[in-house]
């Protein structure tokens, strides 16, 4: 029987401080004071809520998934009460803008809370996650009357939001969307079906506000013809909420996140689902990305939470499970075995690298939104464009790797459904798939964020990585010398790979063949950047147990993880020819 989730508060605090420095967020007026003041109380309260309320429901939700019945969707036992507590305690409004009734706290602080929610119970954590993205798209693109009618209710958690993008036959190719919108006075009527809609229907709140991509009658084909509409589940009629013409037809039976109702939605089965345009006609893609970028950071944070949970379960099991003998012949726990320690250290090194990277993206988002200096905001936005696909894709792939190692540490027991680590592995597998598959993230990173500007924004990040590496001692006897050496060599090698890519711009399938390797090479380097920052701070105060643990894990990352960078670069520089030569029928 597994133990309940415990929030890694000490590591979260270290990562928050490091993210503030890495993003330059300390220059924001009152930022550090907020983190030092209410931040401590928020983290401790969130940790209690995660451990005492959310974690005990995680296995219940996996075994008793959401189900669609004649009178609507029913969520697992205990979920409705937990959501009410989450809403009433103000957790949904934590980072929501004050103008919408939110608390306006830093995204960095909210990100640490998001990690805890996901580690304790990802299925339930997904429900309020879209609130911030929904509020951003309303503030940026919606008419004032829509903001007045919906924003405060979404910010408080009174109503939830859902993002209705893809549909049967479309998948990741949104240009194939066929849901249509017909104008009727000052509103629209929508007709179509939407697939894979997370929390598309449920019994936690009275109303659900759907953000729906659809095509108007005279819109051009392809992505340019899409518009975004607000379509509530219920509409106020004479002061009462009445059903709109939108409903869940079915709920998916999924590999993981089983407690989360993922729905097939039908719009316009009768007289059309009433909706209101957000932004202009055919501006849907730009409006949608305002929401999507928040969700992509959310996927990275959710994946981080799962990776931390896998580490907790594996470490607990390894310390309890007696098997084999030590050098003296006495029976020992499996954590005494070198290979088990290797796996646990790999998990620990990857998890905290992911944490620091994700938190840094959140702090960078705060800088982009809050800095008084326009030049600083522009630079932060440019950096965020690099970090967002990294956090979404690298952190979610890391979570799958870490969860798989967690199963391996458990051995045969980890392969049984009685083990929570099996659920964590299944839950983690969704991260690389949804909110844009990880190949889409890699393609976007390489083609739009790196090659388009000749690697300028990437160069700024690599310079920061090199600066952190050079701050480490170079003496071969220093425990962090290898980290310094590997980071400097890795940044040089990745630069050469980018030069090679630019020179081969006309090569067929160049992006498709190299993008994932590029993203992973950069992700490993970015993780090493944060271990260099952490290691330098620990080396300045080497006497404490925490400092020694940081330096030991940083040294492990250098020896066991950073060697992946030249491998990825080798594929980028030479592996595409083989892929291009392979015929479809040969595969």
Instruction: Report d(CA 386, CA 396) in Å as an integer.
Output: 16
Domain ranges of the chain: 139-285, 438-586
Closest-CA residue to 435 (of 388, 402, 382): 388
Note the pLDDT of residue 331.
95
pLDDT band for 332, please (50, 70, 90 cuts): very high
Query: Within 13 Å and on the Cβ side, how many CA atoms surround 344?
Result: 19
pLDDT band for 238, please (50, 70, 90 cuts): confident
Task: Name the pairing type of β-strands 180-184 and 187-198.
Answer: antiparallel
What would the mean pLDDT of 187-212 be, rounded to a whole number? 97
Instruction: Report d(CA 235, CA 146) in Å as an integer.
Output: 12
Q: At what angle do helices 284-320 and 395-410 cross, to 10 degrees?
A: 20
Q: What is the Cα 44 distance to its own chain's centre? A: 22
pLDDT tens string 542-582: 788 889 999 999 999 999 999 999 999 999 988 677 776 66
Q: Looking up tokens 């805890």, which residue turns up?
A: 116
- What 462-471 contacts at long range (C-beta under 8 Å, 24+ apart), as own/partner pairs, is 462/491, 462/494, 462/495, 462/525, 464/22, 464/529, 465/491, 465/525, 465/526, 465/528, 465/529, 465/532, 466/491, 468/529, 468/532, 468/533, 468/536, 469/529, 469/532, 471/532, 471/536
Quote the mean pLDDT of the chain.
94
Note the pLDDT of residue 106.
97
DSSP state of 279: S
DSSP state of 452: T
DSSP state of 475: -
Domain at 139-285, CATH from 3.40.718.10, 2.40.110.20, 3.30.365.10, 3.40.190.10? 2.40.110.20
Handedness of CA 218, 220, 221, 226 (dihedral sign): negative
Query: Within 13 Å and on the Cβ side, how many CA atoms surround 516?
Result: 12
Instruction: Report d(CA 461, CA 325) in Å as an integer.
Output: 47
pLDDT tens string 483-496: 999 999 999 999 99
Query: In sequence order, what DSSP letters do the residues of 232-274 get, joined into one string?
Result: ESEEEETTEEEE-SEEEEEE---SS-TTS-EEEEEE-SSS-EE
DSSP run (H or E) holding 160 = strand 160-164
Query: φ and ψ at 211, to 5 degrees?
Result: -110, 110
User: Between 418 and 405, whose confidence is greater?
Assistant: 405
DSSP state of 3: P
Answer yes or no: are the C-beta atoms of 488 and 565 closer than 8 Å: no
Closest-CA residue to 398 (of 512, 300, 257, 513): 300
Note the pLDDT of residue 394.
98
What would the mean pLDDT of 382-407 be, rounded to a whole number? 98
Task: Name the pairing type of β-strands 208-216 and 160-164.
Answer: parallel
Answer yes or no: are the C-beta atoms of 162 and 198 closer than 8 Å: yes
Answer yes or no: are the C-beta atoms of 514 and 576 closer than 8 Å: yes
Answer yes or no: are the C-beta atoms of 201 and 69 closer than 8 Å: no
Query: In sequence order, what DSSP letters do the residues of 364-409 get, joined into one string?
Result: HHHHHHH-S-HHHHHHHHHHHHHHHHIIIIIHHHHHHHHHHHHHHH
User: Between 484 and 101, whose confidence is greater?
Assistant: 484
Note the pLDDT of residue 101.
87
DSSP state of 219: P
Residues 6+ apart with CB under 8 A from 332: 322, 323, 324, 325, 326
Strand extents, DSSP E, 32-119: 67-69, 72-74
Is residue 452 classed exposed, middle or buried when 0-12, 13-18 and 19+ CB atoms within 10 A define those classes? exposed
Answer yes or no: are the C-beta atoms of 283 and 228 closer than 8 Å: yes
DSSP run (H or E) holding 333 = strand 331-333
List residues with catalytic annotation: 435
Instruction: Report d(CA 232, CA 241) in Å as an integer.
Output: 10
Q: Looking up tokens 């979920």, which residue turns up?
A: 79
User: Between 357 and 292, whose confidence is greater?
Assistant: 357
What would the mean pLDDT of 424-453 be, rounded to a whole number? 95
Note the pLDDT of residue 3.
83
User: Between 99 and 115, whose confidence is greater?
Assistant: 115
Note the pLDDT of residue 585.
62
pLDDT tens string 21-76: 999 999 999 999 999 999 999 999 999 999 999 999 999 999 999 999 988 999 99
Q: Under DSSP, is residue 575 helix (H, G, I), strand (E, B) or coil?
A: helix
Q: At what angle do helices 107-141 and 284-320 cross, to 10 degrees?
A: 160
Q: Under DSSP, is residue 307 helix (H, G, I), strand (E, B) or coil?
A: helix
Instruction: Report d(CA 368, CA 384) in Å as an integer.
Output: 8
Answer yes or no: are the C-beta atoms of 133 and 97 closer than 8 Å: no
pLDDT band for 239, please (50, 70, 90 cuts): confident
Answer yes or no: are the C-beta atoms of 232 and 273 closer than 8 Å: no
Note the pLDDT of residue 580.
65
Instruction: Report d(CA 583, CA 587) in Å as an integer.
Output: 7
> Per-residue b/e over 535-549, b at no fewer than 16 CB within 10 Å?
bbbbbeeeeeeebee
Look up the pTM and report it.
Answer: 0.96
Write out the two tokens for 102.
């939110």
């Amino acid at each position: 029987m597994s133990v309940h989730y415990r929030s890694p508060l000490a590591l979260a605090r270290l990562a928050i401080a490091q993210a503030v420095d890495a993003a330059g967020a300390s220059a924001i007026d009152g930022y550090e004071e907020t983190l030092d003041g209410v931040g401590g109380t928020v983290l401790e309260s969130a940790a209690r809520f995660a451990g005492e309320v959310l974690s005990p429901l995680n296995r219940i939700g996996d075994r008793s998934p959401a189900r669609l019945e004649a009178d609507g969707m029913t969520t697992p036992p205990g979920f409705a009460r937990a959501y009410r507590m989450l809403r009433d305690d103000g957790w949904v409004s934590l980072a929501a803008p004050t103008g919408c009734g939110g608390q306006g706290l830093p995204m960095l602080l909210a990100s640490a809370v998001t990690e805890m929610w996901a580690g304790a119970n990802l299925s339930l954590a997904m429900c309020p996650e879209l609130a911030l993205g929904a509020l951003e798209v309303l503030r940026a693109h919606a008419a004032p009357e829509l903001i007045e009618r919906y924003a405060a209710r979404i910010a408080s958690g009174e109503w939830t939001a859902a993002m209705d993008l893809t549909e049967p036959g479309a998948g990741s190719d949104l240009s194939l969307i066929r849901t249509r919108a017909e104008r009727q006075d000052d509103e629209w009527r929508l007709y179509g079906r939407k697939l894979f809609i997370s929390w598309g229907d449920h019994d936690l709140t009275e109303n659900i506000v759907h953000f729906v991509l659809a095509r108007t009658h005279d819109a051009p084909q392809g992505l340019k013809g899409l518009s975004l509409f607000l379509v509530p589940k219920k509409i106020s009629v004479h002061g009462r909420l009445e059903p709109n013409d939108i409903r869940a037809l079915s709920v998916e039976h999924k590999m993981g996140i089983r407690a989360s109702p993922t729905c097939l939605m039908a719009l316009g089965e009768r007289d059309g689902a009433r909706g209101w345009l957000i932004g202009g006609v055919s501006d849907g893609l730009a409006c949608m990305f305002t929401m999507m970028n928040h969700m992509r950071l959310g996927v990275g944070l959710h994946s981080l939470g799962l990776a931390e949970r896998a580490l907790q379960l594996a470490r607990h099991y390894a310390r309890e499970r007696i098997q084999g003998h030590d050098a003296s012949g006495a029976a020992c726990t499996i954590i005494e075995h070198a290979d088990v320690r290797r796996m646990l250290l790999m998990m620990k090194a990857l998890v905290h690298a992911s944490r620091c990277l994700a938190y840094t993206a959140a702090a960078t988002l705060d800088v982009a939104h809050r800095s008084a200096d326009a030049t600083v905001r522009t630079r932060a936005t440019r950096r965020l464009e690099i970090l967002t696909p990294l956090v979404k894709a690298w952190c979610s792939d890391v979570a799958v790797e870490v969860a798989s190692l967690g199963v391996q540490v458990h051995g045969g027991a980890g392969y049984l459904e009685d083990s929570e680590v099996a659920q964590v592995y299944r839950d983690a597998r969704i991260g690389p798939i949804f909110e844009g598959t990880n190949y889409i993230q890699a393609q976007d990173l390489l083609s739009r964020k790196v090659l388009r500007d000749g690697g300028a924004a990437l160069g700024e990040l690599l310079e920061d990585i090199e600066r952190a590496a050079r701050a480490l001692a170079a003496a071969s006897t220093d425990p962090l010398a290898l980290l310094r050496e590997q980071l400097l060599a890795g940044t040089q090698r990745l630069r050469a790979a980018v030069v090679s890519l630019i020179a081969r711009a006309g090569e067929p399938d160049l992006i498709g063949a190299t993008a994932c390797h590029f993203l992973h090479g950069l992700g490993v380097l970015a993780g090493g950047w944060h271990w260099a920052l952490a290691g330098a701070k620990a080396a300045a105060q080497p006497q404490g147990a925490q400092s020694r643990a940081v330096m030991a894990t940083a040294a492990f990352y250098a020896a066991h993880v950073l060697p992946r960078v030249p491998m990825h670069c080798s594929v980028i520089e030479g592996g595409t020819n083989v892929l291009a030569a392979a015929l479809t029928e040969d595969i």
